[in-house]
Structure 1
């Protein structure tokens, strides 16, 4: 099966928005990793005596703030991507009839030999 197979696209159509969001979050995370590398390099160069970062003449405190901001941004984007990946909670179990097992559906199905909770 090819990634561009029409049958596969038909199965992925309901999740198109979520997939686009996860892909966008992954792209943004990649760009933030590159920004983090530049920020940490600037922080190290600012900490060395007599060496200045060629792209910005900032102090160690300023570079520390940049590193913290980039790490915070990565955490926010990663959390958003994880939330998009999980999606909304769509599972809702049918209410079990009186006298049925209060066990989770998988355990009840395994015990009774059926695939239903009740």
Structure 2
């Protein structure tokens, strides 16, 4: 269905367990590879390298090689990364409502008293 193509494209870009976590880590500040790796438990070096490359290809991450000795490389979110913010917020809101619907778990914005 042609109408769903943009949705499929979006899911292809942010798909997987790690991409959004990497973006969130980068939004907390410019990071080197090992800093990103340490900030996300259970993320392996091999997977991080693959995910960063894909994020860079999609214009969400910029790889900057510093002219230092030894050479250091930093990864920065691009301005384009900010366009994902409303998408992530919508996913978060839907996820909270879904958890409440399925498990009866109150959302972050509700206190246990309000959820009853």
Using the size of structure 1 for normalisation, the TM-score is: 0.27
Structure with the largest fraction of helix? 1
| Structure showing greater relative contact order (alpha-carbon pairs closer than 8 Å, 6 or more residues apart) | 1
- Larger Rg, first or second structure (1 or 2): 1
Structure with the largest fraction of strand? 2
